[in-house]
A and B are shown apart, each in its own frame.
Chain A
Amino acid sequence: MSASPVYLDAATAAPMHPVARQALLAALDDGWADPGKLYTQARRARQLLDAAREAVAQTLGVRADELSFTPSGTTAAHGAVLGGLAGRRRVGSTLVHSAIEHSAVLHAAERHVAAGGDAHPVPVDRLGRLDLTAWSDAVRGPGVALAALITASHEVGTVQPVAEAAAACADAGVPLYVDAAQSVGRVPLPAGWSVLTASAHKWGGPPGVGLLAVRKGTRWESPWPADEREGGRTPGSVNLPAVVAAAASLRAAAADAAAEETRLAPLVDRIRARVAAEVPDVEVVGDPVLRLPHLVTFSCLYVDGEALLHALDRRGFAVSSGSSCTSSTLRPSHVLEAMGVLSHGNVRVSLHRETTEADVERFLAELPGIVAGLRAEAGVVGL
């Protein structure tokens, strides 16, 4: 295979930032001891952990003691949801959430429902934007313990009206949890939330580091067995070298975020326009304007999503898909379903700091032929 690899799946995992690699290697030498102990090696580890926490807290605009490092974005989301519900169980047992939350949030919601609680999903429109009227009505309902809203869709990129949703929550006295995995390190964070989570491998940090921030005064109670580490919010010893690398790369990503947004957003505009113009029968989905700078999703009519991923992979392109045939459950993406847009033949392209204009041009040059080839093979040309 002669095609050079073009990695376009940053929304799953961005290539590691060089700063993360450097910090990781240094911390492997220097930060392997348990930061909780009372000897020299431990004190060094403690310094590294404290500095990492301080740096990340500063970038997020939170206090260091409001922030915990978790083993992933998924466990952070589980803790955010279940802990937010546990902390307010005397108020009620209803979780309000958008229909397009990440599966980590939805799986925590399922756990809550299985234990006798309620979950109230709020719909989105065709562009994947929260229905604010339905949201406001839902959070004002009786017994709402927590509301959960993703800052921007990980599948279609649509930025959510977090400020307005937060105002509705404040009026109703309901704490708001935001899953900011696709925003942290890329775009400014919205205000008005009580609990926030993120994931380091989305911004160029290593996999296996999540963030959980719980604002002072929020009634949040750890849903896990007791453990005093990380403010009592997440059990187990932290992967300190990875945490150090996550913190260093977040600082670097945040410093470059505005410039990267300026560089990547027009490339996404170009993909949106050219795919719509040059691939017949394609639906480019998500909000064209109120969107993440680095992510675009489209669906190709009559094309099998799995076949499309394989065909792209053979030409060196790594992308993701929300089509049912590409998921282990064989169900279409709940996000595309909630939006009511075509789910088969779906491709998500997400860019990162190493993505060049030439990469995007090669993708755009090859895609129409790849789709046409699959359609010809399936005998669906002209339908």
Chain B
Amino acid sequence: MPDEVLDCRGQRCPLPVIAAARRMPEVPVGTVVRVLADDPAAAVDIPAWCRMRGQEFVAAITGPDGPAYDIRRAH
């Protein structure tokens, strides 16, 4: 389970990625943040952001709140 949820539904890319980039440095290392994002570009761009920033992309899931992406703060 994620430690916290960032609701970016209704936002178009790159806004969900920006929201994640703002939040991740504020949480303790090891924290898993779930980004809810229904913009189809998020499926590509959130994993790509994790790769570029050296953060851990845990998984893409589709739950009751629609598509979601779990990121663990790695450093």
Partner-B contacts on A (CB < 8 A): 281, 283, 301-304, 323-325, 330-332, 336-337, 340-345, 378, 380, 383
Contact = CB atoms under 8 A, between A and B. Distances in A.
A147 to B, nearest CB: 26
Interface in B2-29: 12-14, 17-18, 21-22
25 contacts: A283-B48, A283-B52, A301-B14, A302-B21, A303-B14, A323-B13, A324-B12, A324-B39, A324-B40, A324-B41, A330-B12, A330-B39, A332-B41, A332-B44, A337-B43, A340-B48, A341-B44, A343-B13, A343-B44, A343-B45, A343-B48, A344-B45, A383-B18, A383-B21, A383-B22
B14 A344 contact: yes
B48 A324 contact: no
Interface of A is mostly: loop
Contacts of B22: 383
B44 A301 contact: no
Contact of B18 (A302, A324, A331): A302
The 3 closest A-B pairs by CB, nearest first: A342-B48, A344-B14, A332-B41
Contacts of A337: 43-44
A299 to B, nearest CB: 8
Given A330-B40, A337-B44, A378-B18, 16 more contacts: A281-B52, A301-B49, A304-B14, A324-B39, A324-B41, A325-B13, A331-B40, A331-B41, A337-B43, A342-B44, A342-B45, A342-B52, A343-B44, A344-B14, A383-B18, A383-B21
A331 B42 CA distance: 10
Contact of B12 (A281, A325, A336, A341): A325
Contact of A324 (B13, B17, B47, B49): B13
A174 to B, nearest CB: 31
Contacts of A331: 40-41
Nearest to B39: A324
B14 A345 contact: yes
Contacts of A281: 52
A340 B57 CA distance: 13
A218 to B, nearest CB: 37
